[in-house]
Structure 1
Amino acid sequence: MRGMMMRLVIAAFVLAGWASQSIETAQEQFARLQKQAAEAKKAGEHAARVAAVVELAKMLHHSPAVVMSEARVYAEGNENERALAALKEFVDMGQTDDAMLQGKAAQFAALQEMPRYQAILDQMKASESAVQRGETAFSLKDAGVLAEDMDYDPSSRGFLMTSVLEKKIVRVSEKGEITDFAKSPHGWSMMAIKVDTVRGQVWATESAIDGFSNVAKEDWGRSEVLCLDLKTGAVRQRIDGGKRALGDMALMPSGEPIVSDGEGGGVYRVKDGKLALINGRDFISPQTPAMLADGKHALVPDYVRGIGSLDLETGDVRWVNEEGGAALSGVDGVYVAQDAMLLTQNGTTPERVMRMRTKDSWTRVTTQDVIERGPELGDPTHGVVVGEWFYYIANSGWDKLDEHGDVKPGMKMSPARVMRFRLK
């Protein structure tokens, strides 16, 4: 239950005397803790601010952004040892901070001459070094596509890719040759795509991205799930997503899509032509899921909280590295290859593509390998595992757009590259 229905149910409980406290979703808890931290800072109440940030860190499973917030709060309170410990935790996750590297992080002025702080800066510089273990599979010849998602179609030995700016799905050969497959019925951005060769169909999402100038203002925030014929691109089925940002998806073994609402926090299953809510409480901004081999669970990356293993029947979530230790936020797509997660991370600093091996039922990261990072990567979006290769979209073009979806002044779109990394 969401929105008005949830408010009505809670109100009924309160009136009946059954509810002693409100039920918080992850989005509500996140907003509350952020507000508490901001109010404590304004009031000069250091202990209250620390308490709010520490609770945030626990909730967000020690994501890099909140760990850096802890370091700043401790430093501003002259708790140097705790600040250094938080900074060490931050860099151990492979993260960097431009202000620190440029000597402009005023909060850490008292630490700058300390050897431990200098060692942290050295570790940051190492994490900025370029890594490229993949190779270019092909480049898109149309620079205006702005490719978001891709999947492989074995019947044509090529890929289907979605275009955000040109609002269509294209077929792409292994040489990068592009032909149109289908256009958005509403004229909205095409986002997720999954090929179901067993049933000869393609599932996709289209979204009227909030604030984008290339769609009607009255449509902002709406989305739709589409089922298309794999051979012709003709629409077989349309499912109205309403005011939800249904942008990413995975397919269950049954062929039913699992779709995530990156704005509203819900994860849904398409069943009998309708959206059925699986989980609307634990995620803040869910992104591209990945089905696990048992067909009953999916790894769902939350852009803010990290990666959760979602039980598709009960809606229960177990978080990967719940106590921290790996940068699992900022993930746009997660993909599974044997015991490893393959991650496209455009919300970390630096942006990167990673392979992380896990154990204990996908709840603990054991090893981390950088597949690619550095200026040549650009903004990575999504990918797909094809045999022993992991293909991923690099240099998508998102970093060249402003908040209205227009190309920034002085910027020029360049052809996106599809890279591939051999898994074995």
Structure 2
Amino acid sequence: MRALTAALALCLAAPLAAEAPPAWRAVDAATGQIADVAGLEQLARDFPDSASVRLRLFNAQLQAGEGEGALASLRWLAARGHVFSERARAQIPDLIGPAHAEAARAMLAGAPQVIAASTVFGTLPAEAGLIESVIVVPGEEGALASSVSRRTLFALGPNSEWIEVPVPRAQALSGLASAPDGSLGWVASANIDGAAPDPAGFTGLIGLTGDMGDLLMIPAPEGVAVSDLAVGPDGSVYASDPVGGGVYRRVPGKTALEALVPPGTFRSPQGLAVSADGARLYVSDFRYGLAAVELGSGAVRRLASDVPAALDGVDGLWLHRGELVAVQNGTSPMRICAFRLSDDGTRIVGHRILEQAHPDWTEPLGGSIADGVLYYVATGQWDRYDKGALREGMKPLPTVIRRLPLGAR
């Protein structure tokens, strides 16, 4: 008995081994074609925090007449704040069948709760075109915005006027980021909008100096279209390719981008954020959720959540005081959230909604964090443009930049 008691005491004293972060399942165009219930159930197990995957499973269950399974998917979506359209809310109780109609009706929320906590920072004129991102200098002493359609930058000048800044050889300009010390800014240049190719256009990263006199040009590999950017504490620049699916890195002193995560791992990588110690890169895959790339080994892990939260639909992504701040314009409703990370940075352990269904939004897009404030594009215009030009019958709109204090977690 004494020996058994001693052995039990040793077991109780020994720390439990930490559960390894789950591996990321590689996804590509074929993954998006999975339509059978069994295949989508496996996909939902592989990406248990993706509302996009769960919606696909829900629709497949409805079509297959699996009312009980559809009800379970509906419960999952309701727990994560998903709001269906008015038309869908009217149809779902009939589609799910009489045995589950009443329970389904109770879970179908009406109009989303509006959370509006930001104020207007500035407004770019309609002539600026399709603005994708903005970066604001600490102290609000200056700002720079990127235009996809104009292929130029816009700088905030005196009297709150936005001044167009030409960028030689630029293609569509999108992601913006700055070096840790603020000495050098970066903008992504690539044909991300499907415009007619420009043989003289430059694809890659453009390093911006204060006077715009001597630009640093870092070319991307052939066929790569860079968009969102992030800069690590050592000055390494990371870029995602939402079209091809890869993630790329430029190490200080190097003259070209190199592949960090090859295409075929992610379907549509978008927002990026680097951990404070520079050991990990967080990547948002628009349809499947959040991943963490271990920069030492190159291993790609899925960022799991201990709380009910949808982790997909993320466009912009930033790290701020232990939280991943995310613009989710691919969820219903659209929102801006803060996901609190575990101490080891491998899991989501908390979740708060900062803004949601703002009445003045069209589509929130990219931005930057300065002095504890998120500055972001609030009136995205991607729906008004096609292949670099305005759609027939459309006119450009002014672009509103909003400021959202992030507060304490």
The TM-score range, normalised by the shorter chain, is 0.7 to 0.9
Match of 2:237 among 247, 257, 267: 257
CA distance in 2, matches of 1:383, 1:27: 27
Match of 1:89 among 64, 67, 76: 76
CA distance in 2, matches of 1:118, 1:25: 34
Conservation of the 8 A alpha-carbon contact between 1:129 and 1:374: no
Conservation of the 8 A alpha-carbon contact between 1:262 and 1:287: yes
Q: Is 294-303 or 134-143 further displaced after alignment? A: 134-143
Other-structure match for 2:287 = 304
TM-score, normalising length from structure 1?
0.81
Structure-2 change in CA distance of 1:77 and 1:245 (3 Å): same
Structure with more of its chain in helix, by fraction: 1
**Cα offset, 1:365, TM superposition:** 3.7
Match of 2:379 among 350, 370, 395: 395
CA distance in 1, matches of 2:103, 2:134: 44
| Structure 2 residue 250 is matched with structure 1 residue 270 | yes
CA distance in 1, matches of 2:257, 2:364: 29
CA distance in 1, matches of 2:341, 2:139: 33
Structure-2 change in CA distance of 1:412 and 1:180 (3 Å): closer
3-state DSSP class of the match of 1:288?
strand
CA distance in 2, matches of 1:365, 1:92: 16
| Structure 2 residue 11 is matched with structure 1 residue 27 | no
Conservation of the 8 A alpha-carbon contact between 1:203 and 1:227: yes
Other-structure match for 2:197 = 216
3-state DSSP class of the match of 1:166?
coil
| Structure 2 residue 298 is matched with structure 1 residue 315 | yes
CA distance in 1, matches of 2:360, 2:349: 27
Question: Per-residue displacement from partner, 1:40-59 (whole Å, max 9, x unpaired)?
Answer: xxxxxxxxx22111122233
Conservation of the 8 A alpha-carbon contact between 2:175 and 2:366: no
Question: Per-residue displacement from partner, 1:127-182 (whole Å, max 9, x unpaired)?
Answer: x2322111111211344332112223349811111111111112125964211334
Conservation of the 8 A alpha-carbon contact between 1:353 and 1:372: yes
CA distance in 2, matches of 1:357, 1:323: 10
| Structure 2 residue 322 is matched with structure 1 residue 332 | no
Instruction: State the AA in 2 paired with 1:26.
Output: A
Any gaps of 5 or more consecutive residues in structure 2? Answer: 1-23
TM-score, normalising length from structure 2?
0.83
3-state DSSP class of the match of 1:52?
helix
Any gaps of 5 or more consecutive residues in structure 1? Answer: 1-23, 38-48
Structure with the bigger RCO (C-alpha within 8 Å, sep 6+) is 2
Number of aligned residues: 380
Conservation of the 8 A alpha-carbon contact between 1:160 and 1:172: yes
CA distance in 2, matches of 1:194, 1:370: 22
CA distance in 1, matches of 2:256, 2:208: 16
What stretches of structure 1 move > 6 A for 4+ residues in a row? 217-220
| Structure 2 residue 336 is matched with structure 1 residue 356 | no
3-state DSSP class of the match of 1:379?
coil
3-state DSSP class of the match of 1:230?
coil
3-state DSSP class of the match of 1:86?
helix
CA distance in 2, matches of 1:68, 1:57: 10
What is the root-mean-square deviation in Å for CA atoms of aligned residues?
2.9
Other-structure match for 2:402 = 419
Instruction: State the AA in 1 paired with 2:372.
Output: E
CA distance in 2, matches of 1:286, 1:210: 16
Instruction: State the AA in 2 paired with 1:273.
Output: T
Instruction: State the AA in 2 paired with 1:373.
Output: A
3-state DSSP class of the match of 2:257?
strand
3-state DSSP class of the match of 1:384?
strand
